Amino acid sequence: DALKRRLALVKEELDKVKEGLKGVKVAIEGLGFSGATTLLPREFEMKISVLIFWTTIFKTLGLSEKALEKRINIHVEYARRYGSDPKVLIDPSPDEALRAIKAEGVKLILTRRAYFYHVHGFKAVDLSQMLKFGHFSIGMRPTVEIAKILRRALDSKIPARPILKGLETSSEIPYLTPQWAHLAKLFSMNRRGMLAETLDKEMAKIVEMEVEEALYI
């Protein structure tokens, strides 16, 4: 009984918080849906109007164009399943991203570079605020907290970012400065080399086992 009462209270709170989210047009920038962002179309009934994908890291890791296209299509189909038909941008220029967001009437952007959209007059939520509500969060309470983050962003004034207006960012990984973007690419290339080496060793083991089996037979 106590559990049922607590569940009813949380559900009541969630229904109240998410009232102002239904139908709101949003853009998601980065790698598509993951963890908390999957709630936007499914639980909050928000409209995913724009999906912006940054692919540099995936390409550096050796992901093929075909694999990238398949990954992007999975995210687009997820949005469509819940009634959205998003405009898809892949590695757009800053101007292209801003034009698409304005043209689609987006009210809120989920991104790793919220400051960029703030200085251009758009409301945005930094995705890092949602990292703590990952795959290991259970129950309805995390959903309520995510809804509150979105409501606060929509209800608040756009913060002034005078210092960040002059910040230089990478054209390939726009939520990082050029120096950090270069380091991120180097790290990814190193990971790719390590993965390739591991795969080579595993393949060598498989070939060796097959040879042994053939000799035994």
Strand, helix or coil at 112? coil
Alpha helical stretches, state H, 18-163: 39-42, 56-60, 65-81, 94-103, 114-119, 141-155
> Model-level pTM?
0.72
142 near 133, Cβ under 8 Å?
Answer: yes
pLDDT tens string 74-109: 999 999 999 999 999 999 988 999 999 999 999 999
pLDDT of residue 199 exceeding 50, the answer is no
Domains of the chain plus CATH, in order, are 2-166 (3.40.50.1980)
pLDDT tens string 162-198: 555 556 666 665 555 666 556 656 655 555 555 545 5
User: Could you give the C-alpha distances from 175 to 9, 91, 105, 141, 208, in angstroms and in order?
Assistant: 39, 12, 23, 30, 45
pLDDT tens string 24-78: 999 999 878 877 889 999 999 999 999 999 887 777 667 788 888 888 999 999 9
Decide the pairing of beta strands 87-90 and 124-126: unpaired
> Which pLDDT score is estimated for 187?
59
> Which pLDDT score is estimated for 216?
45
101 near 27, Cβ under 8 Å?
Answer: yes
